[in-house]
Amino acid sequence: MTDRHWEVINWIQEQVKAEKALSVRGIKKSGVVDIKEFYALFPGGPLKISTKIAGVPKPKSCI
Amino acid sequence: MSQTKVKKMMFILSKATIENVYAAFVMANGARMEGIEAEIFFTFFGLEAIQKKKLKKLKVATVGNPAMHIPTMIGGLPGMEAFATTMMKKEMEKLDMPPVDEFLEILSASGVKMWGCKLAVDMFHLKEEDLIDDLDGILTIGDFYSKADQDGTQILFI
């Protein structure tokens, strides 16, 4: 886990606190990380893995 | 890497109606989100989804589609297709589904490989500059099969 990982994890936790739905489109618009880097940081199912690390529920969205 | 038995999903998209294009895009994106590789092979009318000039103008089919619950005669009236498409796009936006151009960007950034079918590209007299910049190349069906030649690969025709 590097600082970049933590920046993304913190952003995810903020989103969940603000009750905003998480999706890959949301990652694109986040301004914290782009999709390519997101996949590179958390390979093998990035949103699934990052939400697990962040300790928040896995997103229910299909996008 | 993915723990699933399915390692790679390969989609052949042969149609340009919005519902078919989104089916391929949502499943390709969904595969990547689960750590599964994904590739899309655009052939015949599916090529409309990667033509710069056409991809923003894809429509839902209102004729010959009983699930639309519009009588065929009425579905064929001028403007019906555009009307139904606008309605559907509104509903999709509510669900935070990206429009086709943005979806293509997301797919490419997510590592989905996108290929044009050589035979169909030649048949429709398309040039490289007519197609999106994110396209990974033009393939023959033989090339496509060689990419599918590994354990845990599934091919889906849409």
**Residue B140's pLDDT band (boundaries 50, 70, 90)?**
very high
Closest CA to A26 of A36, A13, A35: A35
Under 8 Å CB-to-CB from B39, ≥6 apart: which residues? B8, B9, B10, B11, B28, B112, B113, B114, B115, B147
Which chain B residues contact residue A34 at CB under 8 A? 109
Residue A24 annotated as catalytic: no
Token readout for B100 is 């086709």
Closest CA to B102 of A44, A25, A13, A54: A25
CATH number at residue B123: 3.40.1260.10
Token readout for B84 is 């139904």
pLDDT of B1 above 80:
no
Q: Pick the catalytic residue from A1, A18, A62, A63.
A: A62
Pairing state between β B153-157 and B137-139: unpaired
**In this predicted structure, which of B69-73, B83-87, B129-133 has the lowest mean pLDDT?**
B69-73
Torsions phi, psi for B150 (to 5 deg): -155, 160
B56 inside domain: yes
pTM of the model: 0.90
CB atoms within 10 A of CB B49: 26
pLDDT of A61 above 80:
no
CB atoms within 10 A of CB A4: 14
Q: How far is A26 from chain B (nearest CA, A)?
A: 9
Q: What is the ipTM of this complex?
A: 0.87
Closest CA to B32 of A34, A35, A59, A13: A35
Q: How far is A63 from chain B (nearest CA, A)?
A: 6
Tell me whether A32 touches chain B (CB under 8 Å). Answer: no
Domain count of chain B?
Answer: 1
Q: Which residues pair with B113 in a beta bridge?
A: B39
Q: For residue B91, give the amino acid letter.
A: E
- Report CA dihedral (B127, B128, B134, B139) to the nearest 10 degrees: 90
pLDDT in the model for residue B26: 94
- Which of B35, B102, B106 comes nearest A44 by C-beta? B35
Hey, is B117 helix, strand or coil?
strand
B94 inside domain: yes
pLDDT in the model for residue A17: 87
B114 inside domain: yes
- Average pLDDT, stretch A19-43? 89
Range of the structural domain that residue B74 is part of:
8-157
Q: Which residues pair with B154 in a beta bridge?
A: B9
CB within 8 Å: A25 and B106: yes
Which chain A residues contact residue B34 at CB under 8 A? 45, 48
- Average pLDDT, stretch B95-101? 90
